[in-house]
């Protein structure tokens, strides 16, 4: 179920979602296939997105075997096995329109809950399951 970010959501969120960054996860690709294009054909992803890591499956339209990549967190594991386990927070915005970009999500530090999201339409609401998964993140 691709996430669509509408035109009115293109403005930056209320600042950096990360207060203090202590560690990041290894670099991996953020799958653009998880994001539906908006009415202009763009796929913008803003900082504060809670991400999961999955291995194998569809990536750049090909079956990759064991290549790990990042997808948005989904309580129903909509993006594959493991996508229902949060591993980090996207700290920088990305334009996923033409290609997948490598990201290194923050997995340990202090984050502003009001600037994080699992659904771009509901910024500032982080589910309890995500907070449990991200036990090394202190929420403000």
Domain boundaries, the chain: 15-139
CB-based contact 133:77 (threshold 8 Å): no
Q: Specify the pLDDT at position 98.
A: 82
At 127 the three-state DSSP class reads coil
Dmax of the chain from CA atoms?
Answer: 40
Question: pLDDT tens, position by position, for the chain (140 residues)?
Answer: 455 444 444 444 456 888 888 999 998 888 888 888 888 888 888 899 999 998 765 554 544 556 788 999 999 998 888 999 999 999 988 888 888 888 999 999 999 999 999 987 788 989 999 999 999 999 99
The answer to whether the beta carbons of residues 35 and 2 sit under 8 Å apart is yes
pLDDT value, residue 2: 54
């Amino acid at each position: 179920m691709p996430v669509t970010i509408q035109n009115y959501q293109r403005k930056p969120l209320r600042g950096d979602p990360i207060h203090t960054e202590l560690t990041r996860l290894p670099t991996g690709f953020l799958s653009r296939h998880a994001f539906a294009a908006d009415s202009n054909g763009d796929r913008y992803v803003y900082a504060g997105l809670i991400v999961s890591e999955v291995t194998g499956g569809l990536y750049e339209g090909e079956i990759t075997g064991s290549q790990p990549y990042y997808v948005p967190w989904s309580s129903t594991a909509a993006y594959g096995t493991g996508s229902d386990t949060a591993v980090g927070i996207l700290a920088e915005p990305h334009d996923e329109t033409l290609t997948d970009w490598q990201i290194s999500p923050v997995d340990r530090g202090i984050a502003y809950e009001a600037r994080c999201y699992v659904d771009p339409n509901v910024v500032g609401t982080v589910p309890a399951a995500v907070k449990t998964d991200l036990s090394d993140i202190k929420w403000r």
